[in-house]
Structure 1
Amino acid sequence: MLVQATKLPLNSCGGDGGPVSQCERALERGDLEAVWAAARERVRVRVGDRNYAAWIAPLSCTRASDTVTLVAPDRTTRDWVARHFLTAIEEALAAALGRSCPVQLGVAAPPPVLPIPTEPPNAEQTFDSFVVGESNAGAYEAARALGNATLGSSLFLHGPTGVGKTHLLHAVFHALHGSGTIVACLPAAHLVSALVAAYGRHGHEAFWRDLAPLGALLLDDVHSLAGQEELQERLMEGLVAWVEGGRTLVLTSDRAPRDMPDLAARVRERFEGGEVACIELPEPALRLAILQRKARAQGIEFEPRLVARLAVRLAGDVRRLEGALTRLAAHSRLSGRPLDEALAEEVLPELRVAPALDVDRIIEATAAAFGCPARLLRGRSRRAELVLPRQVAMYLARKLLARPFAELAAQFTRDHTTVLHAWRTIRTRLETDRALATTVAQIEERLLSVL
């Protein structure tokens, strides 16, 4: 059953013959998510965060001809929205589009019974809430294009932990789901567990047949399957056949396909010849933008100088920024003190006065740990005993300073591909080489202890 809304009068945002709004252009492009996101924020302001979370956030947006259809997860939600919030939604859409637009409310069809565990991704992790910078722009554009593309596309997102891969995966889910596609998003390990159970019941053929209703499958952290060659082979064989049926597949990993030799060959070839996008550690400008966005979302007021200082000193992934912001806000609230530089220096060791961390200090600390001259790590020598410490120094420089590979390469008198190779090699070895992991952790702790 659909509840159709009455048409609204044109508002001052532009009617017949008036300027075309950005949302109207988005609607013409078929970018329903952008239109609904703009209208949704207007509704949030009007109805409050609690009503928004309970009744508006669960709605997905589709379009049939000139009518916007909002699909509720159940009849209770649809009926409550129709009685209490439909007018607010109509007016928000009219304001966003610059013209009135018929609105219908519907109820989603019961989801198909799938042989895999699924749960809705984070509703707040959309393309609109993703902060874009130099280090993630390519991945963002690739994911956004896939979210608006026809089914049958594939995307492999890779990068270190805490840089936004899962956020983009969830954003793709919301975009595809909003267009009416049946989507499943889950950790790759959960899919493997379900597949193993199906094989145990001799039902592996039925397993893939039961996934047929899905138009898209989004798998997070495929690197977690490392070392499970037989399971990987079974999974990847099924995925290749499933995708070749014209479906969309998105994978995330902490390394590129070419750096995963145990990834099934057919899948690796498919992605190496297709869309592969990398997200790097955030640069200072992006860290600043992320801090500002998250502070606004939490109602935290910062001194501009302090925010800029945090963005420079808190190198690394986004989770480090979030953790620092949480600690600062908690200390300010509990102590009743203003969130200023004095409090920040007490709470965050990273801000205390200390010699600036640079490539030279990293090289010296690494050379001391491995018992070799620091000057040789900067030089062109290819002696075997220098390869590992030099790669560790390059890895730590990238991790702790978050500078471009090309900039770091100049410090080591190498090209950027050498530093990139060192970064990937050491990151992979740390997962299995406990002795090396201990050494690297000790060097890092020694470097950070004086900051």
Structure 2
Amino acid sequence: MTKTSDSVWNNCLNIIKDIVEWQHFKTWFEPIVPVALTDKVLTIQVPSQFFYEYIEEHYITLIAKTLKRELGKEARLEYRIMMDSGGNNKHHNQKTMDLPATGNKMHSNNLMDFPLNMNNNHVKNPFVIPGLKKVQIDPQLNAVYTFDSFIEGDCNRVARRAGKTVADKPGNNSFNPLVVYGGVGMGKTHLAQAIGNDVKRQHPNKVVLYVSSEKFINQFQDHSRNNAINDFIHFYQLIDVLIIDDVQFFARAEKSQDAFFAIFNHLHQSGKQLVLTSDKPPKDLDGMQERLLSRFRWGLSTDLQMPDYETRIQILEHKMKNDGLEMPKEVVKYLAYNIGTNIRELEGALISLLAQSSLNKREIDLELAKKVLRNHIKTSSKEITIENIQKMVCEYFDVGYEKLQQKTRKREIVQARQITMYLAKAFTKNSLKTIGEHFGGRDHTTVIHSCQTVKDLMDTDNVFKENVLELQQKVQLASL
């Protein structure tokens, strides 16, 4: 496609408007009119001599960077300055300017006018590995966190597979940024670092960095006190795969958000990969700048849920295998059944049990497990029954109890019955046959089909998924 003065200038403005404050953009960039494009020379018309001087003093480096990106390093800029000759007569005075090198610092003191590119010489590195002659960036990764040790289940399947895609093709996929959110102990840090470790394994020349948002904020504040903000920005612009953990803490750090915005823009425009974790979805991140939230939504946001019973068993068995441990199957089931809050607490309970077994020189059995884990397991004031769950679902969907027993194909009744079976399987100790009998004498295959249908719909229907998750919370609260 042939480039025109309008297309070139509009492409420049698309970058500039995301870097300067909106009011500054309206004042100093919207009045500029592209006039002509000859070879590598773009001519723009500005309203006055003062306007021209202000642009030259405050924004010429930014314009140079964007224009050279469009036209190449030989790009030049001409100004056509409108001159008032009295009355309604106007003429123009033309100036040709050689564009400055893009490594120059910008004149503006506006914090949001960070440079898009940088000269890599003399960039201070806050993550230097001590003792190495050649300066390298320590990725800050824990080698324990891998995809092999991140057990896949219905609770995390989308997030895990998206993370693997990112690790296989960092920056060259549809998930940029990848935002992983979920509650405490659901595995966000594990997945984020697994991505980083897998990138280092597959792409050893890629520069990877994992950093918590709190460390990022502290570093920014240190550099700000030392008048070295540009060094800070320049360093982070060197990263190929940047992983920021717990971005919700940016909400209390406005200026750090400005810095991260500049870094995000540069990395994303340069085809670099961003991976972010949060305790809640982007839409619920209060105190975050809207321009950042809009960028978080460019890629994929996916959640990590509480692992189901089967996944909890797999997590325990994997940890035991890795640590060379053995434990009776009934104890594993006891732990998995009774600790369903999060993965961290599940692993903590296992460690406590193993420690007590070792210290007391006693074999692990169900009796010891019950005795040791009293502090980990919240005892229920009452056991949840199928009838309890049926009543909760009926009230939630305003469906008559007797309708769950009937053979009807009405969609709302069928889905309510399927969800009830799904919850009964997850929260009671009843067999599939017993669950089916509570729904008009249906057999175990109907229960299996209903549970699978619920899982499938949760993957494709967000409203349905929210209903199921809300009902899960109601059942959990009822058991406390």
CA drift of 1:126 comes to 1.1
Residue 210 of structure 2 corresponds to: 185
Residue 352 of structure 2 corresponds to: 327
Answer with 1 or 2: which has the greater Rg. Answer: 2
Whether contact under 8 Å (2:244, 2:277) holds in the other structure is yes
Write the letter of the residue equivalent to 1:135.
Answer: C
Cα separation, partners in 2 of 1:233 and 1:210, compared to 1, 3 Å:
closer
Superposed CA RMSD in Å reads 4.1
2:186 aligned with 1:163, yes or no? Answer: yes
Q: State which of 248, 267, 271 in structure 2 corresponds to 1:223.
A: 248
Structure 2's unaligned 5+ residue stretches are 1-128, 400-422, 429-450
CA drift of 1:123 comes to 0.9
Whether contact under 8 Å (2:209, 2:242) holds in the other structure is yes
Q: State which of 220, 232, 235 in structure 2 corresponds to 1:210.
A: 235
* Cα separation, 2, equivalents of 1:110 and 1:375: 60
Cα separation, partners in 2 of 1:405 and 1:109, compared to 1, 3 Å:
farther
Residue 172 of structure 1 corresponds to: 195
Write the letter of the residue equivalent to 1:122.
Answer: N
Q: Which moved more, 1:174-183 or 1:229-238?
A: 229-238
CA drift of 1:343 comes to 0.8
Q: State which of 385, 401, 416 in structure 1 corresponds to 2:464.
A: 416
Q: Structure 2 matches for 1:375-394, cutoff 5 A?
A: 378=396
Q: State which of 364, 373, 378 in structure 2 corresponds to 1:348.
A: 373
CA drift of 1:401 comes to 5.9
Whether contact under 8 Å (1:344, 1:351) holds in the other structure is no
Whether contact under 8 Å (1:208, 1:242) holds in the other structure is no
Secondary structure, counterpart of 2:142 in structure 1: coil
Q: State which of 116, 123, 128 in structure 1 corresponds to 2:143.
A: 123
1:364-421 Cα offsets, whole Å, 9 max, x none, are 9xxxxxxxxx99974759xxxxxxxxxxxxxxx9xx96999969x99xxx96355478
* Cα separation, 1, equivalents of 2:257 and 2:181: 18
CA drift of 1:169 comes to 1.1
Q: Structure 2 matches for 1:6-405, cutoff 5 A?
A: 110-112=135-137, 120-151=140-171, 153-178=176-201, 179=203, 180-349=205-374, 350=377, 355-357=382-384, 378=396
Whether contact under 8 Å (2:282, 2:296) holds in the other structure is yes
Whether contact under 8 Å (1:126, 1:174) holds in the other structure is yes
Secondary structure, counterpart of 1:250 in structure 2: strand
Residue 34 of structure 1 corresponds to: none
Structure holding more helix per residue: 1
CA drift of 1:289 comes to 0.1
1:260-313 Cα offsets, whole Å, 9 max, x none, are 143332332223231222111101111000011112222321111221232122
CA drift of 1:218 comes to 0.7
1:57-91 Cα offsets, whole Å, 9 max, x none, are xxxxxxxxxxxxxxxx999xxxxxxxxxxxxxxxx
* Cα separation, 2, equivalents of 1:289 and 1:283: 10
Cα separation, partners in 2 of 1:203 and 1:241, compared to 1, 3 Å:
same
* Cα separation, 1, equivalents of 2:160 and 2:239: 24
Whether contact under 8 Å (1:192, 1:235) holds in the other structure is no
Write the letter of the residue equivalent to 1:147.
Answer: A
Structure 1's unaligned 5+ residue stretches are 1-72, 76-106, 113-117, 365-373, 382-396, 427-439
1:17-65 Cα offsets, whole Å, 9 max, x none, are xxxxxxxxxxxxxxxxxxxxxxxxxxxxxxxxxxxxxxxxxxxxxxxxx
Cα separation, partners in 2 of 1:228 and 1:208, compared to 1, 3 Å:
closer
Cα separation, partners in 2 of 1:169 and 1:404, compared to 1, 3 Å:
farther
Secondary structure, counterpart of 1:157 in structure 2: strand
Cα separation, partners in 2 of 1:169 and 1:194, compared to 1, 3 Å:
same
Write the letter of the residue equivalent to 1:175.
Answer: D
Secondary structure, counterpart of 2:310 in structure 1: helix
* Cα separation, 2, equivalents of 1:329 and 1:263: 43
Write the letter of the residue equivalent to 1:158.
Answer: Y
Secondary structure, counterpart of 2:252 in structure 1: coil
Cα separation, partners in 2 of 1:353 and 1:252, compared to 1, 3 Å:
closer
Identity level (%): 24
Write the letter of the residue equivalent to 1:154.
Answer: P
Residue 83 of structure 1 corresponds to: none
* Cα separation, 2, equivalents of 1:142 and 1:181: 19
* Cα separation, 2, equivalents of 1:404 and 1:255: 27
TM-score by length of 2: 0.52
* Cα separation, 1, equivalents of 2:363 and 2:378: 17
Secondary structure, counterpart of 2:179 in structure 1: strand
CA drift of 1:188 comes to 1.0
Write the letter of the residue equivalent to 1:317.
Answer: N
Cα separation, partners in 2 of 1:156 and 1:353, compared to 1, 3 Å:
closer
